[in-house]
A and B are shown apart, each in its own frame.
Chain A
Amino acid sequence: MSSEEFITESLFEGFKSILSIKVIFGLIVLIILFSTAILAPVISPFDPNEQRLNEAYKPPFWVKGGDKNYILGTDSLGRDIFSRLVYGARVAAVVAVVATILTAITGILVGLLSGFFGGKVDQIFMRLVDIWMSFPPVLFALALIAILGVGLKNVILAIAIIDWTRFARVVRAEVINIKEKDFILADKAVGMSNTHIIFREILPNTIPIIIILATLEMSIAITVEILLSYVGLGVKAFTPSWGSMISEGLAYFRIGWWGMLFPMLATIVVILGLNSLGDGLREKIDPRLSLMR
Chain B
Amino acid sequence: MGETLIDVEDLKKYFISSNFASRLTGREEALRAVDGVSFDIYRGETFGLVGETGCGKSTLGRTIIRLYEPTDGKIYFKNTEITSIKGSSLRKLRKDMQIVFQDPLSSLNPKKRIMEILWEPLRLHNICSEHEKERKIFELLELVGLSKADRHKYPHELSGGMLQRVNIARALAVDPDFIVLDEPTSALDVSIQAQILNLLRKLQNEFRLTYLFISHDLGIIHNMCDRIAVMYLGRIVEVGDWKVFENPMHPYTKALLSCVPSIRKESRKNKILLKGAVPSPVNIPSGCRFHPRCFLKEDICSEIEPDLKEVKKDRYVACHLYQ
**Inter-chain contact A190/B67, CB cutoff 8 Å:** no
The reply to whether A191 and B109 form a contact with Cβ atoms under 8 Å apart is no
In angstroms, Cα B101 to Cα A201, docked, is 18
Identity of the chain A residue whose Cβ is nearest the Cβ of B125 in the assembled complex: A191
**A181 to B94, Cβ gap below 8 A?**
no
The CA of A185 and the CA of B99, in the complex, are separated in Å by 9
Chain A 1-45 residues near chain B, CB threshold 8 A: 3, 6
Tell yes or no: A187 within 8 A of B by CB.
yes
Chain A residues whose CB sits within 8 angstroms of the CB of B62 once the complex forms? 185
CB-contacts of A155-211 with B (<8 A)? 181-183, 185-192, 201, 204-205, 207
Write 11 A-B pairs (CB below 8 A) sorted by A numbering.
A182-B101, A186-B107, A186-B167, A187-B109, A188-B67, A189-B67, A189-B94, A189-B99, A190-B94, A191-B94, A191-B95
Contact of B110 among A3, A187, A192, A205 (CB under 8 A): A205
| Sample of 7 further A-B pairs with CB below 8 A, known A185-B67, A187-B120 | A181-B107, A186-B167, A189-B97, A190-B120, A191-B121, A191-B124, A201-B109
- Chain A nearest Cβ from B145, distance in angstroms: 20
Q: Which residues of B contact A189 (CB under 8 A)?
A: 65, 67, 94, 97-99
Which residues of chain B are within 8 angstroms of A188 by Cβ–Cβ distance?
Answer: 67
- Which one of B101, B102, B174 contacts A190 once the chains associate, using CB atoms below 8 Å? B174
Rounded to whole angstroms, the CA-CA distance of A207 and B109 in the bound complex is 14
Q: Mark B109-140, 1 if CB is under 8 A from A, else 0.
A: 11110000000110011000000000000000
Against B, the Cβ 8 Å flags (1 = close, 0 = not) of A197-232 are: 000010011010000000000000000000000000
On chain A, the number of residues with a Cβ less than 8 Å from chain B's Cβ atoms is: 17
Is B106 an interface residue, CB under 8 A from the partner?
Answer: yes
Closest to A197 in B: B109
Of A6, A185, A192, A204, the most chain B CB neighbours within 10 A belong to A185
Tell me what chain A mostly uses at the interface: helix, strand, loop, or mixed: helix
Could you tell me if A3 and B101 are in contact, using CB atoms closer than 8 angstroms?
Answer: no
Whether B106 and A190, one on each chain, are in contact in the complex, defined by CB atoms closer than 8 angstroms, is no
Secondary structure at the B interface, as helix, strand, loop or mixed, is loop
CB pair A6 B152 closer than 8 Å:
yes
A-B pairs, 6 with minimum CB distance: A191-B94, A182-B107, A204-B111, A182-B101, A190-B121, A182-B106
Q: In chain A, what residue has the closest Cβ to B151?
A: A3
| Contact A186–B111 (Cβ < 8 Å) | no
Q: How far is the CB of B93 from chain A (nearest CB, A)?
A: 9
Interface pair A191/B91, CB less than 8 Å apart: yes
Instruction: Return chain A residues, CB-CB under 8 Å to B103.
Output: 182
Instruction: Select from chain B the residue with minimum beta-carbon distance to A3.
Output: B152
Most A CB atoms within 10 A — which of B101, B107, B109, B167? Answer: B109
Q: Is B170 interfacial (CB-CB < 8 Å)?
A: yes
B106 surroundings in chain A (CB, below 8 A):
181-183
Candidates B91, B101, B125, B174; contact of A186 at CB < 8 Å: B101
In the bound complex, CA of A186 to CA of B170 (Å): 9
**A residues in contact with B65, CB < 8 Å:** 189
Could you tell me the distance in whole angstroms from the C-beta of B144 to the nearest C-beta in chain A?
15
- Complex Cα gap A186–B62 (Å): 10
Chain B residue numbers with a CB within 8 Å of A3 are 152
Q: Is B108 an interface residue (CB 8 A)?
A: yes
Query: Which residues of chain B are near A207, meaning CB under 8 Å?
Result: 111
Determine the chain B residues whose CB is within 8 A of the CB of A187 once the complex forms.
109, 120
Instruction: State in angstroms the CA–CA spacing of A207 and B110 once bound together.
Output: 12
In the complex, what residues of A have CB within 8 A of residue B124's CB? 190-192
Residues of B within 8 A of A185 (CB): 62, 67, 99, 101, 107
- Residues of chain A within 8 A (CB-CB) of B94 are 189-191
Segment 207-250 of B: residues with Cβ below 8 Å from A = none
CA distance A62 to B268 in the complex (A): 94
Q: What is the chain A residue whose CB lies nearest that of B65?
A: A189
- Tell me the nearest residue of chain B to A191, going by C-beta: B94
Query: Once the chains are docked, how many angstroms separate the CA of A188 from the CA of B97?
Result: 11
A-chain residues with CB within 8 Å of residue B95 when the two chains form the complex = 191
CA A263 to CA B97, docked complex, whole Å: 65
Chain B residues lying within 8 Å of A182, measured Cβ to Cβ, are: 101-103, 106-107
Give B71-109 interface residues, CB cut-off 8 Å to A. 91, 94-95, 97-99, 101-103, 106-109
Closest to B101 in A: A182
User: Whole-angstrom distance from the CB of A270 to the nearest CB of chain B?
Assistant: 32
In the complex with contacts A3-B152, A185-B62, A186-B107, A192-B120 CB distance below 8 A: yes
Contact with B along A68-94 (1 / 0, CB 8 A): 000000000000000000000000000
A186 to B91, CA, bound (A): 13
Please give, as numbers and ranges, the residues of chain B lying within 8 Å of A181 by CB-CB distance.
106-107
**Closest beta carbon of chain A to B284's beta carbon, Å:** 26
Closest to B18 in A: A119
Closest chain A CB from B69 CB (angstroms): 12
- Complex: A266 Cα to B20 Cα, angstroms: 50
| CB-defined contacts of B67 to chain A, threshold 8 Å | 185, 188-189
A119-178: which residues lie under 8 A (CB-CB) from chain B?
none
A197 nearest CB across to chain B (Å): 10
List chain A residues, Cβ under 8 A from B125. 191
Smallest CB separation, A111 vs chain B (Å): 17
Say how far B34's CB is from chain A's closest CB, in angstroms. 16
